[in-house]
Amino acid sequence: MSAQPEYALDNPFLETLGVRLVAWRAGYAELVMPIDASKLNRQGVLQGGAIATMLDAAAGYAGLFSAPGEPPLHAFTLSLTTNYLDKGLGERVSAKGFLERQGRSIFFSRAEAWVDGRLLIASAQGTFKYSGPARPAVAG
């Protein structure tokens, strides 16, 4: 298996969880996190908050890509609806975020959480608000 590229997270909380940003382009982000004992609940499966964190981050990063040399974009979550579909049992969880619609100050995206690339364990839809001076140019 070839090594995946990594992008700078610039997020201390995600970094403490061992999260890596392995794909990032306009409208898409993919993060991975190892599943270890520190992220399990009392039933021995991936804790729901860890899953929600991954979904929130993937959905958010999907709307924050900026080309090299451009100012970084920042946003905060206004709303996140999460649906849990299965247990998180495996070696790693990946979250894939997809930008659905983007305005001048708010964007909408969705995300999926997968265990070991084979089992869909959760999905989410989110609304995010851009913050700071840099905002993306919206066509149209």
Is position 2 within any domain?
no
> Position 92: which residue type?
R
pLDDT of the residue at 111: 98
Is position 138 within any domain?
no
Domain of 42 in residue numbering reads as: 12-131
Number of domains present in the structure of the chain: 1
Is position 101 within any domain?
yes
Is position 3 within any domain?
no
Is position 1 within any domain?
no
Is position 5 within any domain?
no
Which residue from 47, 49, 58, 108 is spatially nearest to 79, judged by alpha carbons? 108
Q: Could you give the maximum distance between any two Cα atoms of the chain, in Å?
A: 50
- Residue 75 belongs to domain with CATH number: 3.10.129.10
Cα separation of 13 and 103, whole Å? 27
Residues of the chain with pLDDT under 50: 1-2, 140
pLDDT of the residue at 2: 46
pTM confidence score: 0.91
Is position 39 within any domain?
yes
